[in-house]
């Protein structure tokens, strides 16, 4: 008995990400996708019940990957500022390295396939990132700001930083990271 080929499933998801990156979520056509994966359109339906199921599955997988990627890092740095700096660098690099995934989530949120319930799963996966901020407030380093606000400021500036890098107004190097982190620090430091 042949089982579903998980390589094939991965290939489908990979191509979906690529197509969304190239042509937007509305550019995902089941037959075009099948052709790029090298299978028949009807075979897609062996792996995903509907197109919506496919899109949502891609979103769910990305959420898992993002959550996993955000956990690691920091830990052994000594000072809090070093930890915050490490987190900042990680955020910027992550935003750059996962262009396609971030782009997908961006588009998914505004698409007819968006499902709020699934989106909430992400929130939980993000809980732990906040513990760092609590430590910063407790040690008197950070302003007394809500976790959401602190994260929002960092995320907002990270997004814009990456936009400026992609537009050529900034370069992805140490000096840019230093510059932007100094802004973050000034913004958040008590």
131: Cβ–Cβ under 8 A, 6 or more apart, which residues? none
| Token pair listed for 169 | 């107004």
Q: Check residue 59 for interaction with a second copy (CB under 8 A).
A: no
| Token pair listed for 85 | 């700096």
| Token pair listed for 63 | 């959420």
Nearest partner of 51 among 67, 21, 73, 27, judged by Cα: 27
Please tell me the distance from the alpha carbon of residue 78 to that of residue 27, in angstroms, as a whole number: 48
**Smallest gap from residue 27 Cβ to DNA (A):** 8
Select from a second copy, DNA, none the partner in contact with residue 159, using the beta carbon and a kind-dependent cut-off of 5 to 8 Å. Answer: a second copy
Alpha helices per DSSP H over the chain: 6-23, 30-37, 41-47, 51-71, 80-97, 99-109, 116-126, 130-138, 147-166, 174-188
**Smallest gap from residue 187 Cβ to DNA (A):** 43
Pick from 5, 152, 171, 172: which binds a second copy (CB under 8 A)? 152
68 or 187: whose CB is closer to a second copy?
187
Q: Check residue 160 for interaction with a second copy (CB under 8 A).
A: yes
Pick from 148, 166, 171, 172: which binds a second copy (CB under 8 A)? 148
**Binding string, residues 33-72; x marks residues near DNA by CB under 7 A:** ------xxxxxxxxx-xxxx--------------------
Positions 16 through 35 that interact with DNA (CB under 7 A): 28-32
| Token pair listed for 37 | 């994966």
Q: Which residues bind a second copy (CB under 8 A)?
A: 23-27, 103, 106-107, 110-112, 143, 145-146, 148-149, 152-153, 155-157, 159-161, 163-164, 167, 169-170, 179, 183-184, 186-189
């Amino acid at each position: 008995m042949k089982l579903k080929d998980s390589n094939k499933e991965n290939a489908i998801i990979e191509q979906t990400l690529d197509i969304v990156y190239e042509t937007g979520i509305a550019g995902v056509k089941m037959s075009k996708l099948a052709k790029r994966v090298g299978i028949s359109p009807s075979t897609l339906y062996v792996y995903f019940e509907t197109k919506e199921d496919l899109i949502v599955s891609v979103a769910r997988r990305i959420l898992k990957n993002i959550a996993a990627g955000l956990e690691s890092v920091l830990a052994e740095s000594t000072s809090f500022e070093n930890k915050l700096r490490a987190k900042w660098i990680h955020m910027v690099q992550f935003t750059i390295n996962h262009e396609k995934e971030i782009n997908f989530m961006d588009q998914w949120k505004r698409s007819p396939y968006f499902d709020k319930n699934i989106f909430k799963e992400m929130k939980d996966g993000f809980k732990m990132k906040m513990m760092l901020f609590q430590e910063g407030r407790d040690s008197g380093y950070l302003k007394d700001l809500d976790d959401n606000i602190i994260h929002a400021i960092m995320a907002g500036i990270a997004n814009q930083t990456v936009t400026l890098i992609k537009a050529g107004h900034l370069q992805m190097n140490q000096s840019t990271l230093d510059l932007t982190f100094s802004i973050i620090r000034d913004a958040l430091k008590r």
